[in-house]
Amino acid sequence: MKKTILILFAIMLSFNVFAENMPQPKPRPDSILPTQLLLNMTIPCREDGVMYISETVQTYGEKEFASGVATIKPLTKLSLQTVDLLMYVSPDKRSFTIFTLQNVGNYEVACILAGGHTFKPFTGEYRSND
């Protein structure tokens, strides 16, 4: 029993130490732009872009809702890059998926930027900060 309590205490202590050592963004005093953060998140992509989009939207019964051109900053490149941005919505299930589509070498790569549920039109009311 003492061994179990000791292990639980060690685990809780290690999580607490990890949380305290999280890196904090440093403001850029020489820039008028706000500090930007790089988030540690995974974005699923596939090299058969159109097929990936087709399979995903068929699975969720989504239809094309909007499209445009977005500007992104690839991690390994110095300059900005434009990509196609595609949004699909299911009016019945109220699900949505936002894709990027871009050429990478010989591949047409699609990535899912966001997907979710309870999609609804904007009513004119903004969420409160409470």
Query: Please, is 104 exposed, middle or buried when counting C-beta atoms within 10 Å of its C-beta (0-12, 13-18, 19+)?
Result: middle
What mean pLDDT, rounded, does the chain reach?
Answer: 81
Percent of the chain past pLDDT 90, that is, above it, reads 48
Residue 102: strand pairing partners: 109
Write down the pLDDT at residue 115: 94
The answer to whether the predicted template modeling score (pTM) of the entire model surpasses 0.85 is no
How far does Cα 72 stand from its chain's mean position?
A: 13
Q: Which two tokens stand for residue 114?
A: 């966001």
CA distances in angstroms from 115 to 57, 94, 96, listed in the order given: 11, 11, 5
Write out pLDDT tens, residues 39-69.
Answer: 778 889 999 999 999 999 999 999 999 999 9
